[in-house]
Amino acid sequence: MDARIKDLLKPEILNTVNGLELIARVIVEGFMSGSNTSQTIGIGQEFSQYRSYQPGDDLRQLDWKMFGRTERYYIKQAEVETNITVKFMLDASASMDYRENGLSKLQLAKILIAALAYLARRQSDTFGLYVINNDQVQYIEPRFEQQQFHRLLYTLVQTQATSTWTKAGSNDHLYNHHGKELIVFITDLYDDQRDLQQFINRIKTTRNEVVVLHLMGEQELLLNYEGAFTFQDIETGERVKVNTREQQALYKQKITDWLQQCRSWMLEKQIGYQLITMNTPAEQALYAFLKARKHVGR
């Protein structure tokens, strides 16, 4: 992790609007200046497609750089940067309060959203925020105006991980669409009745793009404990005693199977999926996400 970012991951900084904005700026400007290729990476990009020139096509759409490389005429069908609506949806159920190394899933999610919104603002994309759990749905309608970024940061700072997911996705307001959209949903995918899966399925349409950023702790993946422990479900309070030496292999296999099922289901539904472990530096997770988007549609 970038030492500058690591030094900023303190409650007194994370829990303020100015602090969260500083973290977002350091992350985005860091990887944007890291290489020339990163300059073309953006959250709201729609990638160019080319086709051969046909008689009657608008000559203004000819790509002369492509002609210089190939000596053939090509029409550029879409601009590299297209302003779209970016919706950030945040699972704020109690399980997102899970912590490792002093950082909770919810705090990591706030950092990721703040950085992506900072980048969206740089690109003049319209963006909004939806904070969701069973108690309430808070939302900032997608807008493009000067104060939108600070509205989003203020809402993130105020957000707490409480309650469950359960029927949180039943709010019809979550399914209002704004033309061409990218929906980024950050969650740990924990629910009892596949309510989260139903929600993800419902927000995906033929006209939008949905990407799920799945947050998991290293210990959740590996059960890397030695001895007998009592684990408590953050949301239900249910407790279970586990001998980790005896259960570790079976646990890892079940986690592997579950993650594969998640990937396969989302691939089938044409939903983007990225697993982010809590020990992955935020800047690396974001760069991997944006780099993957750069190759969409190529």
Residue 79 is predicted with a pLDDT of: 44
Q: What is the pLDDT of residue 63?
A: 76
Q: Which domains does the chain have, with CATH numbers?
A: 3-36+81-294 (3.40.50.410)
Beta bridge partners of 242: 229
At 121 the pLDDT is: 92
pLDDT of residue 298: 42
Virtual torsion, Cα 253, 255, 261, 267, nearest 10 deg: -120
Q: What's the count of helices (H) and strands (E) in the chain, helices before strands?
A: 10, 12
113 by DSSP, 3-state: which?
Answer: helix
Structure confidence at residue 295 (pLDDT): 55
Return d(Cα 23, Cα 65) in angstroms, integer: 38
Question: Average pLDDT of each block of 10 consecutive residues along the chain (298 residues)?
Answer: 78 94 91 56 55 73 74 63 83 96 95 96 92 93 92 97 86 82 96 87 92 96 88 88 89 95 94 95 89 62
Least Cα distance to 141 among 114, 177, 171, 110 occurs for 177
pLDDT in tens, 181-230: 999 999 999 987 788 999 999 999 988 999 999 999 999 999 988 888 89
pLDDT of residue 42: 59
**pLDDT of 112:** 97
The residues with which 230 forms a beta bridge, in sequence order, are 241
The Cα 149–Cα 289 span in angstroms is 21
For residue 296, what pLDDT is reported? 52
Q: Which tokens go with 122?
A: 């740089």
**Residue 244: count of CB within 10 angstroms of its CB:** 16
Residue 252 is predicted with a pLDDT of 94
Burial class (CB in 10 A: 0-12, 13-18, 19+), 52: exposed
